[in-house]
Amino acid sequence: MAIIEMTSENFNSLVSGDKPVLVDFFATWCGPCKMLSPLVEQLAEENADKVTVCKVDIDRQPALADQFGVESVPTLVLFRNGQEAKRLIGFRPMPALLNFIS
């Protein structure tokens, strides 16, 4: 499954399902975000049955970043049943990402 670009308009419909949703808040100018991006893409491909993966460019969607208090990127937020369940800030290796979504 492809990674979905999350916006203020599609946020509620994306996080309201039964499947957990991993949201990657990132910026195009962020070095650690660039390092994390291929891992998030791999995670999305290999775990499509377990989690929906979305990305939020904080420069294009500042209202979403503000709504969730994102002050540092990359920030990963896991939603379950429409509610924030977990949060990670900064680059993490794949084992940590897999643990995060479990």
How do residues 16-62 score in pLDDT, each as one tens digit? 888 999 999 999 999 999 999 999 999 999 999 999 999 999 999 99
| Domains in the chain: boundaries | 4-101
Let me know: does 35 contact 27? Beta carbons within 8 Å: no
Type of residue numbered 40: V
Tokens linked to 56: 């939020």
Distance CA 15, CA 31 (A): 27
Is it true that domain 4-101 has CATH number 3.40.30.10? yes
Distance of CA 76 to the CA centre of its chain: 5
pLDDT of residue 1: 54
pLDDT class of 4 with cuts at 50, 70, 90: confident
* pTM higher than 0.75: yes
Active site residues: 30, 33
Helix (H, G, I), strand (E, B) or coil at 35: helix
